[in-house]
A and B are shown apart, each in its own frame.
Chain A
């Protein structure tokens, strides 16, 4: 068990190292000079200052030295200065946007996993019923649908108000600007802004979890021990919740965690659609402004989040699966 754990941690660490190296190389081969980009549009823009800026950023040093500096800075969470928000560090810019994303993506992910698993259990257990076909059809449709398009339709219906739909929710943002709400009123205001993006993210991803759970459940239901349990006279609900579900959860859990990489993708477009001022929204701003310093750091953060999610999946798996625990 110690060996398993150490192996997984080492693997996560190696992956992180790969991402760091990849990031370093990518932003060294890109066209354009970061020093010039930092100074562009300011009065200080001249060859001399660009050269001085280059020296300050360490871009005139040999690559291995640059790499060492880059690694050291990254582990201290120092990502340099933003190209666009002049005079502000990347960490500062990103730090300010962290909480909204954690709030939105965190809650909607939990909600969609829970709902998805329940739907998956029900449709696998009642395989071939209208509920099963309905949820399969929905899953297929949700899979084929660009989540930002779904977001726009929901925005149009419930925030813009079209035809029979009432415009009952705000069109975007994190809070009512200028209202100055505090305490409880503020929390309600934020929740009111969160309803639509939360719903869109939850609905867009629950189908995937439902499908994984359904297929896993059907596999397990064919196992011999299920028949044994039934032959013993175990009640049907007991067969489902005590025998089938725990075993079906194992593969589901890993796949669910692996799919988190896609959740971040959805968060980027959905935050953009609903002007939710989080990391995804910041990503789109950084693309538009060509703020490579911020983009580079965001890419690292998204990758690190997925790597950590995978590590957590592996560790929890250890507790869920007695075979790994015993090894």
Chain B
């Protein structure tokens, strides 16, 4: 029976009582996995009850479906300016071109459908870079402490105050215009927030008795980080990842709008750039502006809603409220 109070952020004691007669020779690994599976199911159950999270997930799945099955939903040749399947310039929405056409007669509907692939890819890939940097720095700083922590956190603070768009613009215009560069630029400008959150959580996890116990038993730093710290920080990193995807997609659209995107892969931001440069705003071509913009809003909203819901469930600081 545990006597110490439950610390904030620590998993509550499992409600299920352990089997009365533990089977013999169960490997610790299996116990761990069974416990993780239970924890996952518990989170999934809480998530299902969260209306905001479920709405977000629904919209998100819809967009992922659109991105994967784009060839079934739209005819790609209608966005190729030299193809005969394109229409006249600036056709308003009609039966053939549901969202109308742009200045080159390309179908806005097709471009919006295919744009989801680029926007989602950039958002996810940039987030992975950002998460790896942020989580690594956060864990190293929080776990090792000392001068290493001071240096890393100073660096994080510096990056946190830099105006990210100015930094991203400078990087993107210096490095060139390609999808890979955009991903890289967004990845390396969006990690500081994650690093701070992860570090704070590591600081609280590493003083827990079970970590000390493992250390006393001779566990190496690597073992402690991988088997004890990471599983406890992981959920928080995950919730943060979802929120970062939203920011990364917004960032991509902004950079693309400013003409720093890859001219060959048309994202929603690129569409808005084309539209603005062709004077769609001042000449009232609303059908060219609304679809890509609404797509950005919906996807970002969906990721944000999922992220908030997960954060509410997984973040010990919010759970107390």
Any chain A CB within 8 A of the CB of B258?
Answer: yes
Taking a contact as CB atoms under 8 Å apart, the answer to whether A264 and B163 are in contact is yes
- Does B141 sit at the interface, judged by CB under 8 A? no
**In the complex, what's the smallest C-beta–C-beta distance from B304 to chain A, in angstroms?**
6
Q: How far is the CB of A132 from chain B (nearest CB, A)?
A: 15
> Which one of A152, A159, A284, A306 lies within 8 Å of B258 (CB-CB)?
A284
A7 within 8 A of partner (CB): no
Place the interface of chain B in its size category: 35 or more
Task: From the candidates A26, A149, A269, A310, name the one contacting B174 in the complex (CB within 8 A).
Answer: A26
Pick out which of these stretches binds chain A: B11-19, B72-80, B281-289.
Answer: B281-289
Question: How many angstroms between the C-alpha atoms of A195 and B260 in the bound complex?
Answer: 28
B252 (CB) vs chain A CBs: closest residue: A146
Chain A 290-311 interface mask (CB, 8 Å, partner B; 1/0): 1010011011001101110010
Q: Mark A146-165, 1 if CB is under 8 A from B, else 0.
A: 10110011011001111100
Distance A30 CA – B172 CA, assembled complex (angstroms): 11
**Known contacts A26-B171, A160-B284; A283 and B166 CB within 8 A of each other:** yes
Mask for A247-277, Cβ within 8 A of B = 1, else 0?
0000000000010011011001100110000
Which residue in A140, A152, A258, A261 is a CB contact (below 8 Å) of B272?
A152
When C-beta atoms are compared, the residue in chain B nearest to A18 turns out to be B158
CB pair B259 A287 closer than 8 Å = yes
Does chain B have a CB within 8 A of A144?
yes
What's the Cα separation between A124 and B160 when bound, in Å? 28
Whether the Cβ atoms of A149 and B166 lie closer than 8 Å is no
Please determine whether A160 and B257 come into contact, CB atoms closer than 8 angstroms. Answer: no
* Residues from chain A with Cβ under 8 Å of B289 in the complex: 149, 152-153, 156
A14 to B246, CA, bound (A): 31
Residues of A within 8 A of B166 (CB): 264-265, 268, 283, 298-299, 302-303
Hey, which chain B residues are within 8 Å of A135, CB to CB? none
A149's partner among B158, B175, B296 (CB-CB below 8 A) is B296
Asked whether, in the complex, the Cβ of A290 is within 8 Å of the Cβ of B283, the reply is: no
Q: How far is the CA of A269 from the CA of B259 in the complex (A)?
A: 11
With both chains docked as a complex, state the minimum distance between the C-beta of B147 and any C-beta of chain A, in angstroms.
Answer: 15
Q: With a CB–CB cut-off of 8 A, which chain A residues contact B162?
A: 19, 261, 303, 306
Shortest distance from the beta carbon of B8 to any chain A beta carbon, whole Å: 15
Chain B residue nearest in CB terms to A310: B161
- A contact residues around B301 at 8 Å (CB): 140-141, 144
A146 x B257 contact (CB < 8 A): yes
Please tell me if the beta carbons of A284 and B296 are within 8 angstroms of each other in the complex. no
**Which of B's residues lie within 8 Å of A, judged by CB?**
154, 157-158, 160-167, 169-171, 173-176, 246, 250, 253-254, 257-260, 269, 272, 275-276, 280-284, 286, 289-290, 293, 296-298, 300-301, 304-305
Q: Which 9 A-B pairs have the closest CB atoms?
A: A265-B165, A162-B284, A144-B300, A149-B293, A30-B174, A144-B301, A302-B166, A152-B281, A261-B163
- A-B contacts, 17 of them at CB < 8 A, read A15-B157, A19-B158, A30-B174, A144-B301, A146-B297, A148-B254, A149-B293, A152-B276, A152-B293, A153-B290, A155-B281, A262-B164, A262-B165, A264-B163, A264-B166, A292-B174, A303-B163
Supplied contacts A152-B272, A287-B260, 7 more A-B pairs, CB within 8 Å:
A140-B301, A140-B305, A144-B296, A149-B296, A152-B280, A265-B166, A299-B167
